[in-house]
Amino acid sequence: MSIMNFDRIMIRYGEMALKGKNRRAFEQKLQSNIAIKLRKYPNTTIKKTQGRMFVLLNGEKPHEVMKECQEVFGIHSLSFAVMVEKEEEQMKEAVMLAFHDARNARTFKISSKRTDKTFPIPSQELNPLLGGHILRQTEDVKVDVHNPDVEIKVEVRHEGCYVTAQDYPGAGGLPVGTTGKSLLMLSGGIDSPVAGYLTMKRGVEIEAIHFHSPPYTSERAKQKVIDLAQALSKFGSRVKIHVIPFTAIQQKIHREMPEGYSMTIMRRMMMRISEQVAARNELLSITTGESLGQVASQTMESMNTINEVTNYPIIRPLVSMDKIEIIDISRKIGTYDISIRPFEDCCTVFVPKAPKTKPTRKNANYYESNSDFTRDIEKALEESYIVEVSPDRQSGQQDDEFDDLL
Ligand code: ATP
Ligand code: MG
């Protein structure tokens, strides 16, 4: 029985059309994002060498660290690896370890490379030597040089012999923080967290904005949004949530606007406030979970009418997706179970029985011109506050505990 274990994880991020300065920024950000993610594994260290990174485990549990790394955007694939002495028995033990990492592999291939020419065994001889060892130690396993279940890479270098196991998929995308910042309109639904995730995947750092309407919406409804933001923070490092008290504006819309337009006008108010928050925090775009055709309010007319009030770029990553694809992603990223908790959302509380599915800009402007919302918007902004979450803050905490993070 072997006591050998992997001592590092190899991280591949590919060339990615990155040149010069961009590449440096990409690598630095990736390294610091991995470091933040691995804070709870304090013995790990990160080493960068020509187009690759290694996480040295220094005794931390390999699979736990692997799981964390797989959530970091900007990584194409990862493998466990181990460095052993340039000595036959250790090398055999290392290839066995690598083979067993691919649990169901029935075929394998060993690819050896000998950089250290003082090592006496040339690579053509090393492949059958190490491969033969695996064949003797296993049953029903074959070598397949063309299409193996697992390719085990052996590299004999000056400082030692590296053995690398199967590839694990990385999260892809770009390191969060390399392509700017966006304000995510985060409701308690299924869609907006997924929209946030997909935006982060493209390297965007997000802050969130949430409109809530106490006492129509409860503290637990707000907590749900905090938990969603926390789930998203796993893919960045922390997320600030701008919580906007929205009751007064909704009541005024309810009182003063025609019922058929209340939904559209409410969304326009949300958008106006979002733009202000974005501008004040140097966020250059707004991200929403809007889709097309999911519900009666999600029409091209509605999008057009709501969009009139801002000229900020609106990122709508879900616009090309089916609901089933969105749900799949929400399950994968761990937001689904939070999203389906049965708490009310401010939109559903005030939702009219028959919202206009084809609103126009002209009508919306006309109705809004009968009331002045300027002061209400200012007041909502004044009364807004920030909740900040990070992955190591447990979900379900009370608000006053979050306050000390501000
Ligand atoms: P979701 O599943 O994200 O709630 P949805 O399918 O319910 O989306 P809508 O209710 O039409 O769609 O909302 C469209 C988008 O508007 C949401 O995805 C979200 O980005 C934003 N939004 C809706 N309600 C709120 C809210 N209370 N606070 C912040 N943003 C919101
Ligand atoms: Mg919703």
Taking the centre of ligand 1 as the mean of its atom positions, its distance from the CA of residue 176, in whole angstroms, is 23
pLDDT category at 396 given cuts 50, 70, 90 is very low
Q: Point out the least confidently predicted range of 216-220, 298-302, 352-356, 381-385.
A: 352-356
pLDDT given for residue 19 in this prediction: 67
Domain segments of the chain: what residues? 8-169, 181-389
> Ligand 1, residues 183, 185, 310, 345: which to mutate, most atoms within 8 A of Cβ?
185
pLDDT given for residue 403 in this prediction: 43
Residue 157 tokens read as 């270098």
Is 184 annotated to bind ligand?
A: no
pLDDT given for residue 398 in this prediction: 40
Kindly report the average pLDDT of the chain as a whole number.
Answer: 91
Is 289 annotated to bind ligand?
A: yes
164-192 burial, b for 16+ CB within 10 Å, e for fewer?
bbbebebbebbbbbbbebbbbbbbbbbbb
CA dihedral 388, 392, 397, 402 (to 10 degrees): -30
Q: What are 318-356's pLDDT values in tens digits?
A: 999 999 999 999 999 999 999 999 877 766 667 777 778
Residue 13 tokens read as 């991020």
Q: What is the Cβ-side half-sphere exposure of residue 341, based on CA atoms within 13 angstroms? A: 20
Distance separating alpha carbons of residues 62 and 59, to the nearest angstrom? 8
Any atom of ligand 1 within 6 Å of the Cβ of 131: no
Residue nearest ligand 1's atom 18 by CA: 289
Residues, CB within 5 angstroms of ligand 2 (ion):
187, 189
Taking the centre of ligand 1 as the mean of its atom positions, its distance from the CA of residue 175, in whole angstroms, is 26
> Ligand 1, residues 191, 271, 303, 343: which to mutate, most atoms within 8 A of Cβ?
191
In ligand 1, the atom with minimum distance to the C-alpha of 209 is 29
Q: What are 220-260's pLDDT values in tens digits?
A: 899 999 999 999 999 988 899 999 999 999 999 999 999 99
pLDDT category at 15 given cuts 50, 70, 90 is low
Sheet holding 45-49, edge to edge: 45-49, 52-56, 8-12, 75-84, 160-172, 150-157, 107-114, 142-143
In ligand 1, the atom with minimum distance to the C-alpha of 184 is 20
2, pLDDT greater than 70: no
pLDDT given for residue 401 in this prediction: 41
CATH architecture observed for domain 8-169: 2-Layer Sandwich (3.30)
Those residues with Cβ within 8 angstroms of residue 126's Cβ, 6 or more apart along the chain or in another chain: 91, 110, 112, 114, 154, 156
Of the bound ligands, which one is closest to the alpha carbon of residue 190? 1
**Displacement of CA 74 from its chain's centroid (Å):** 10
pLDDT category at 22 given cuts 50, 70, 90 is confident
Residue of 214, 182, 239 lying closest to 343 (CA atoms): 214
- The mean pLDDT value for 192-212 works out to 97
pLDDT given for residue 404 in this prediction: 40
Instruction: Say if residues 221 and 186 touch (Cβ distance below 8 Å).
Output: no
pLDDT given for residue 397 in this prediction: 41
pLDDT given for residue 81 in this prediction: 97
Q: Which long-range contacts (CB under 8 A, 24 or more apart) does 401-406 make?
A: 402/226
Q: What are 253-289's pLDDT values in tens digits?
A: 999 999 999 999 999 999 999 999 999 999 999 999 9
Q: Do domains 8-169 and 181-389 have the same CATH topology?
A: no
Distance separating alpha carbons of residues 161 and 70, to the nearest angstrom? 25
Pairing of strands 107-114, 52-56: unpaired
Residue 181 has phi, psi (to 5 degrees) of -130, 145
31, pLDDT greater than 80: yes
Fold of the 181-389 domain = Rossmann fold (3.40.50)
According to DSSP, the residues that pair with 285 across neighbouring strands are 182
Residue of 229, 241, 168 lying closest to 200 (CA atoms): 229
Taking the centre of ligand 2 as the mean of its atom positions, its distance from the CA of residue 25, in whole angstroms, is 36
pLDDT given for residue 216 in this prediction: 87
Instruction: Say if residues 10 and 152 touch (Cβ distance below 8 Å).
Output: no
- Cα distances from 160 to residues 34, 128, 156, in angstroms, run 26, 20, 6
> Is pLDDT larger for residue 368 or for residue 353?
368
Taking the centre of ligand 2 as the mean of its atom positions, its distance from the CA of residue 394, in whole angstroms, is 24
Q: Under DSSP, is residue 297 helix (H, G, I), strand (E, B) or coil? A: coil
According to DSSP, the residues that pair with 53 across neighbouring strands are 11, 48
- The mean pLDDT value for 15-19 works out to 62
pLDDT given for residue 185 in this prediction: 98
Taking the centre of ligand 2 as the mean of its atom positions, its distance from the CA of residue 224, in whole angstroms, is 13
pLDDT given for residue 88 in this prediction: 94
Distance separating alpha carbons of residues 241 and 208, to the nearest angstrom? 5
Q: Under DSSP, is residue 155 helix (H, G, I), strand (E, B) or coil? A: strand
pTM of this prediction?
A: 0.89
